[in-house]
Amino acid sequence: MKSQAEDPKAIAGKRRNCWTSRAGRRTWAAAVIVAVGMVFAFLLGDLEQGVAGGAFMRALWLFPLWAVGLYLAYRRNGPPSISVEGPQVALFVVLLLYLISPTAHAPDFFFLNWFSDSAWTPAKSWLERTLLCAGALLVLRSYGRVPVLIVLLVALLSFQISALHGLLQASGGEPLYRVDHPSFFYRLWSWGQTAPRFIYYDPYWNGGSVMPYLVASGVMAPGFLLWPVWRFLETVHSYTPALGFLFLFLVPFVAALSARAVTRDRAAWVLAALLSLGTSHFTFIHLVHYGTFGSLLAASFLLPVSACLYRLIVLRHNDARTWIALTVSAAVVLCWPPAGIMVLPMGVMLLLHARLLTPRLLWGGGIVVLLLAVMFVLPALSLWTHSDIGGFTQSDPPATAIGLWSGGWRELSELVRRTNPVILFAGTLGLWALPNRRMRRFYVPILLTSLLVAAFAKDWKPLLQLDRMWINALYVGILPASLVVGRLLRQHRMAARTLAALLCALSIMTGYTAVKYMSNEGRARYNTMSDEMKTIVHWVRENVPADGRLLFAGAAVHGYGGGKVAALPIFAEREMMAADYYGFSPRLVEYDYPPAEFRREGPEKMFRFMELYNVTHVITYHDAWKDVLRQRSQYYREKVAFGDKTVFEVLRDSDMFVQGAGRLDVQLNRIRVFPADPDASLVIKYNWVDGLSALPASASVSPWETGTSVRLIHIDPGGADQVDITYPRWF
């Protein structure tokens, strides 16, 4: 009879136990951390750069500080036990390698000035500053967690105040005027005039049209949260301070509350607030450079959404406050409709937790969905009935499998290296470094699904910008990252202390990074309205008749001060005409102006366009358009030049009436007409839109055909001395 030691079943059982036991699971965790960490550090970076060994050697002057910190940790608990602390040791090593790897050499690496190329001076590079801070925290940790917590809290408050001061000082308090900032400025100004309407008739651009863009652009998030600001204060004075308040104070506060919902660890609360100051280089690009901050603000509330779901599903805290917080947070998220795509990674997580979804949770979730449907039925109908969604989302040429793979791998590299390393490592790999299976099963599916979709689906539908899903997911990643670092801070073992010190230092550097970007010292720059644009605005206000219109010939793009021209009617107090005053998709708008119907059929037809819309002046920076206007001197006269921009006067008298006479008082969603003769019909040079109506009831409005695609507004005053034309529809 064979002994038990020779029994194949017993041997196989022992082999299984060596991998499923606690020590075996730690070995697996360490292996996962090392493998994924090496991919982050080397395979996704430019291997030609190599490891920055020289930069690491320059930091050796910090060795005495680290030696003291390590000695104090060693004296308390002895050397790290690989069998117990293997995953934490592995995470520390791969994180350190990542910080000196080819990935960190990339120009779009999250931190600024990571390696110093100039003559060496102590702590000049941010790598050395991080290691200096980490060494100091490691020493400080030997006196308990409270001193470290105080340092983190002081750093948070200092960076918030410094960043706001830097933003206001760099901008002078003026509205930011880069890329889409003028568009969002104009939308927020419009929101203050029209809320709670989501569609309205805008007479200030292109002769009047119905605007549905408040819903799709994400303006509803800052619009609702700061409605009194937009309604009662001048947008020109409140825009930049409001932006600073939202992202330097409100978002960190929400992050801290989210952490508080799932843990009592005060350090995790502070760390969550610190990390919310900067999740990715992409975040800063969209915030200060592109100006699309409405979507960022909406996405930041994915953090409390995930916290509430974790509290309900995993922690089993099924209380009314959590359901209310979930509903409110989800509502803010949906203020930017494309954020709804996060249902995909959230759905993957819910499928993996299907056995925990009790009938009470399902009923509660159904009620939340119903409430959200009721809240957003009006915005959804407004967008659906007034936007060419099909034209925007029409099929792209199919990409090949090889193209999707190569493009996806390239995008994956870009997404990873631009991500805050604390969220990247502590928020994902850190979940393997600690024995917290519940948190790992909850957050890893969300983050992994988001990363893969963002990387490999971008080239499938480029116009949908699916890569922004990773920006959204990084706000979710703040919570596991802060919980992991907070838990490491509570431990006394040497590896945990050392790893916590490095991660806390990187979190502090996150706040410092935010200060630099807000002070306009980062890689994503912003500007206010240039002196040239201020001169143009002043000239337009002084020389264009009060009832005249200024037309931008050709595409405007960012040629007027680095931003869209959307906000210029507010500054110049004149109505304007342009093809791309917003960042319209080229699939929806021809990037040339006037429309082809008028510019391609001879000079008389184009001049007819000027008459139909009462255009009195034309401005352009396109040389081809300058030549065209100069050649037609019988219609246009060159007036003044501002750099590469030239203004032409249209040789016609300004008159907003095609028929009749009177006076106009115009504002958003209302054109007030004072007829010179209340019994005579009028035609005004504003576009007819189906759905326009007139008050009083005795008056009426109808379309007036021009023989072209343009239809103007015909008015029958019905004897009224005053006629108000409005767009009363809500969807």
- Taking the C-alpha atoms of residue 722 and residue 720, their distance in angstroms, rounded to an integer, is 5
How many whole angstroms from its chain centre is CA 573?
A: 30
* pLDDT-wise least confident of 17-26, 95-104, 451-460, 485-494: 17-26
CA distance 462 to 451: 16
700 phi and psi, to 5 degrees?
-150, 155
Based on DSSP, count helices (H) and strands (E) in the chain, helices before strands: 33, 15
pLDDT at 575 over 60: yes
Who has greater pLDDT, 10 or 334? 334
pLDDT of residue 19: 42
Mean pLDDT within 432-449: 89
Cβ-contact 628, 520 below 8 angstroms: no
| Other Cβ atoms within 10 Å of 253 Cβ, number | 13
Q: Decide: 206 and 568 in contact? Cβ < 8 Å.
A: no
Q: How many residues does the chain have?
A: 731
pLDDT at 1: 41
For 650, residues 6+ apart whose C-beta sits below 8 A from its C-beta are 607, 610, 615, 616, 617, 618, 635, 636
Per-residue CA distances from 292 to 221, 307, 441, 451 (Å): 12, 25, 32, 21
Q: Pick the residue with more confidence: 27 or 706?
A: 706
Tokens 């912003």, located at residue = 526
Contact 549, 614 (CB under 8 A): yes
pLDDT of residue 82: 63
Q: What tens digit of pLDDT does each residue of 353-387 get?
A: 999 999 999 999 999 999 999 998 888 888 787 77
Contact between 45 and 412 (Cβ < 8 Å):
no
- Using pLDDT thresholds of 50, 70 and 90, give the confidence band for residue 389: low
pLDDT at residue 192, as a whole number: 93
Select from 588, 640, 592 the least CA-distant residue to 617.
640
For 667-694, the pLDDT digits (tens) are: 999 999 999 999 999 999 999 999 999 9
**Residue-level pLDDT at 285:** 94
Q: What's this model's pTM, rounded to 2 decimal places? A: 0.90
539 pLDDT more than 70: yes
* Assigned token pair, 290: 């592109």
In this prediction, residue 605 carries a pLDDT of: 94
Report the alpha-carbon distance of residue 162 to residue 519 in Å, rounded.
9
Predicted confidence at residue 195, as pLDDT, reads 87
How far is C-alpha 661 from the chain's CA centre? 47
pLDDT at 535: 96
- Rounded Cα–Cα distance for residues 546 and 561 (Å): 24
Dihedrals φ, ψ of 239, to 5°?
-60, -60
Chain centre to alpha carbon of residue 620: 31
271 versus 53: the higher-pLDDT residue is 271
pLDDT at 409: 81
Task: Judge if the upstream peptide bond of residue 717 is cis by omega within 30 degrees of 0.
Answer: no
3-state secondary structure of 723: strand
The order of strands in the sheet holding 670-675 is 662-667, 670-675, 723-726, 693-695
Cα–Cα dist 722/712, whole Å = 19
Inform me whether the pLDDT recorded for 84 exceeds 80. Answer: no
Task: Give the residue among 546, 522, 452, 389 at the shortest CA–CA distance from 110.
Answer: 522
User: Beta partners for 209?
Assistant: 202
DSSP state, 619? E
Which range has the top average pLDDT, 20-24, 401-405, 456-460?
A: 456-460
pLDDT of 603-627, one tens digit each? 999 999 999 999 999 999 999 999 9
Q: What is the pLDDT of residue 555?
A: 92
Cα four-point dihedral sign 684, 689, 690, 696: negative
Judge residue 677's burial from the number of C-beta atoms within 10 Å of its C-beta, 0-12 exposed, 13-18 middle, 19 or more buried: exposed
Q: What is the mean pLDDT of residues 24-28?
A: 60
Nearest to 702 by CA among 684, 687, 715, 718: 715
**pLDDT tier for residue 216 given thresholds of 50, 70 and 90:** confident
Whether the pLDDT of residue 15 is over 50: the answer is no
Six-digit token string for 518? 């807000």
Average pLDDT over residues 465-475: 88
Q: Distances from the Cα of 620 to the Cαs of 552, 592, 601, 605, in angstroms?
A: 6, 11, 20, 19
DSSP sequence for 119-187: S--TT-SHHHHHHHHHHHHHHHHTT-HHHHHHHHHHHHHHHHHHHHHHHHHHHTTPPB-SBTHHHHHHH
As a whole number of angstroms, the distance between CA 489 and CA 267 comes to: 8
Q: Is the dihedral of CA 558, 560, 563, 565 positive or negative?
A: negative
Whether residue 54 is predicted with pLDDT greater than 70 in this model: the reply is: no
Phi, psi of 362 (to 5 degrees): -65, -40
Q: What is the spatial distance between Cα 549 and Cα 577, in angstroms, rounded to a whole number?
A: 7
Mean of all residue pLDDT scores within the chain: 88
On the question of pLDDT at 123 being above 80, the answer is no
Burial class (CB in 10 A: 0-12, 13-18, 19+), 713: buried
pLDDT digits (tens, 9 = 90+) for 154-207: 999 999 999 999 999 999 999 999 999 999 999 999 999 998 888 999 999 999
Would you place residue 262 in the very low, low, confident or very high pLDDT band (cuts 50, 70, 90)?
A: very high
Query: Phi-psi region for residue 207, left (φ > 0), alpha (ψ -120 to 50) or beta?
Result: left
N-term to C-term CA, the chain: 85
| Exposure string over 521-558, b if 16+ CB within 10 A, otherwise e | ebebebbbbeeebeebbebbeebbeebbbbbbbbbbbb
pLDDT digits (tens, 9 = 90+) for 585-604: 777 778 899 999 998 888 99
